[in-house]
């Protein structure tokens, strides 16, 4: 027993002495980390794939992807279904796989229908990561996106701060869409658990339409004349709720908290018609997606992506965080 203790002490001392020298380079063998510099090769091309590819939301994801490409000296391509159409996105993905790119970052329109094409890419040796909208059962190596319950909680904190923890509030959302349900739930849970002076009096469906959100806000104000705040979980509706609030003839302001950073929303924060909006970590989704794909393509991770068995060469789930945009910092969120 004493021999073992002594052996341990010698081993620990040896390791500490080793660590103190700050020379770790040969610890896990030469060549196990293959790149001295993170620089891509000529023709190394990565593809970002979305759906509804024309909407403003993706711009910041793409900017992150582009910034990482610039830093790593690789080229990128942006593709996507133009519509909200799973079959179109699958077709686009199949076309991309045929070209054998160095990696694919995809926001899956829906997890089940995309799984087959994603797995096909991975089986063909093409690294795939998911961002924004995941496909948990697929073979993709990682998912980078928002913790929507936490985002709803942050909206509740902001609302409580604006209202001094008192008053009736409502939610306008897209029921039965998972990310929106999670935002609503996170908002309601935070209020119930931490703000006994507040109450969520209604949860309404604006179908992603600013006009409907405006009408809903007006009718909510009739039903609840003391309504003090509205949290809108989707990008379009904040504008409508903000317009309804601006037209309001009351001593107390109706506080509106929106979601995402469309130019309209930012403008209305500047003008004081929307109090705050929740910015998702979209730049981070794009930036770290490309970093991950690069590391997979160059086999730089430990364990290796080619190791056998049930292996995670990369972080499997990355909560990209949110930021609260207010009149104080709104200028930072305009695409320059």
Annotate 144-179 with DSSP letters as a single string.
EE--HHHHHHHHHHHHHHHHTT-EEEEEEE-TT-HH
Residue 188 in contact with a copy of itself, rule: CB under 8 A: no
281 binds a copy of itself (CB under 8 A): yes
Q: Which of the residues 149 through 178 are near a copy of itself (CB under 8 A)?
A: 154, 158
Closest CA to 240 of 250, 230, 249: 230
Is residue 7 near a copy of itself by the rule CB under 8 A? no
Rounded CA-CA distance 317/319 in Å is: 7
Number of residues that bind a copy of itself (CB under 8 A): 81
Report the residue from 41, 110, 137, 332 that binds a copy of itself according to the rule CB under 8 A: 332
> Looking at 116-124, 162-170, 215-223, 300-308, which segment touches a copy of itself (CB under 8 A)?
300-308
> Shortest distance, CB of residue 158 to a copy of itself, whole angstroms?
8
Between residues 78 and 224, which has the closer beta carbon with respect to a copy of itself?
78
Per CB under 8 A, contacts with a copy of itself among 11-70 are 11-13, 15-16, 19, 22, 24-25, 27-29, 32-33, 35-39, 53-56, 59-60, 62-64, 66-67, 70
CA–CA dist 259, 124 (Å, integer): 38
Q: Tell whether residue 244 is a contact of a copy of itself (CB under 8 A).
A: no
Nearer residue to a copy of itself within complex by CB, 82 or 219? 82
Site for a copy of itself contains 308 (CB under 8 A): yes
Identify which of 40, 177, 191 has the alpha carbon closest to the alpha carbon of residue 111.
Answer: 177
**Residue 108 vs 325, nearer CB to a copy of itself:** 325
Q: Would you give the DSSP letter of residue 1?
A: -
By CB under 8 A, which span of 8-16, 101-109, 166-174, 184-192 interacts with a copy of itself? 8-16
259 binds a copy of itself (CB under 8 A): no
Q: Which is nearer to a copy of itself, 173 or 277 (CB)?
A: 277
Instruction: Kindly report the number of other CB atoms within 10 A of residue 322's CB atom.
Output: 20
Nearer to a copy of itself, 204 or 234 (CB): 234
Cβ 175 to a copy of itself shortest distance, Å: 25
Euclidean distance between CA atoms 292 and 300, whole angstroms: 10
Instruction: Assess contact for 314 and 303: CB atoms under 8 A.
Output: no
Q: Which is nearer to a copy of itself, 116 or 136 (CB)?
A: 136
* CA gap 172, 183 in Å, rounded: 11
210 binds a copy of itself (CB under 8 A): no
Facing residues of 305 across strands?
Answer: none
Closest to a copy of itself by CB, 71 or 203: 71
Considering the rule CB under 8 A, would residue 95 count as an interface residue with a copy of itself? no
Using DSSP, how many helices (H) and how many strands (E) does the chain show?
10, 12
Task: In angstroms, give the least distance from the CB of 250 to a copy of itself.
Answer: 27
Residue 179 engages a copy of itself in binding (rule: CB under 8 A): no
Nearest distance in Å: CB 319, a copy of itself? 4
CB 59 within 8 A of CB 30: no
Is 89 a binding residue for a copy of itself by CB under 8 A? The answer is: no
In sequence order, which ranges of the chain are alpha helices (DSSP H)?
A: 2-20, 58-72, 86-98, 111-123, 148-163, 178-194, 210-223, 237-246, 263-270, 282-297
- 148, 182 Cβ separation under 8 angstroms: yes
271 lines the binding site for a copy of itself (CB under 8 A): no
Give the CA count within 13 Å in the CB-facing half-sphere of 171. 24
């Amino acid at each position: 027993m004493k021999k073992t203790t002594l052996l341990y002490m010698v081993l620990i001392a040896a390791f500490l002495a080793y660590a103190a020298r700050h020379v770790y380079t040969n610890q896990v063998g030469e060549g196990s980390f293959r790149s001295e510099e993170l620089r891509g090769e000529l023709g190394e091309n990565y593809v970002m794939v979305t759906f509804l590819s024309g909407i403003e939301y993706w711009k910041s994801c793409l900017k992150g992807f582009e910034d990482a490409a610039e830093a790593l000296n690789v080229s990128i391509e942006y593709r996507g279904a133009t519509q909200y159409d799973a079959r179109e996105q699958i077709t686009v993905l199949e076309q991309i796989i045929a070209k054998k790119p160095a990696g694919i970052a995809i926001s899956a329109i829906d997890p089940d229908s995309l799984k087959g094409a994603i797995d096909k890419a991975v089986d063909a040796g093409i690294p795939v990561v998911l961002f924004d909208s995941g496909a948990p059962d697929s073979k993709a190596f990682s998912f980078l996106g928002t913790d929507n319950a936490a985002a709803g909680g942050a909206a509740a904190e902001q609302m409580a701060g604006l209202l001094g923890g008192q008053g009736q509030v409502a939610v306008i959302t897209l029921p039965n869409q998972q990310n929106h349900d999670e935002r609503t739930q996170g908002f309601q849970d935070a209020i119930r658990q931490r703000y006994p002076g507040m109450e969520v009096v209604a949860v309404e469906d604006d179908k992603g339409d600013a006009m409907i959100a405006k009408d809903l806000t007006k009718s909510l104000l009739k039903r609840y004349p003391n309504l003090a705040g509205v949290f809108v979980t989707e990008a379009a509706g904040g504008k409508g709720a903000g317009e309804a609030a601006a037209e309001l003839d009351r001593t107390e302001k109706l506080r509106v908290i929106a979601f995402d950073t469309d130019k309209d929303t930012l403008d209305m924060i500047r003008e004081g018609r929307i109090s705050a909006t929740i910015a998702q970590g979209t730049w981070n989704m794009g930036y770290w997606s490309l970093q991950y794909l690069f590391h997979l393509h160059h086999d730089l991770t430990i364990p290796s992506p080619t190791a056998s068995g049930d292996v995670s060469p990369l972080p499997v789930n990355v909560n990209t965080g949110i930021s609260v945009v207010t009149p104080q910092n709104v200028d930072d969120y305009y695409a320059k």
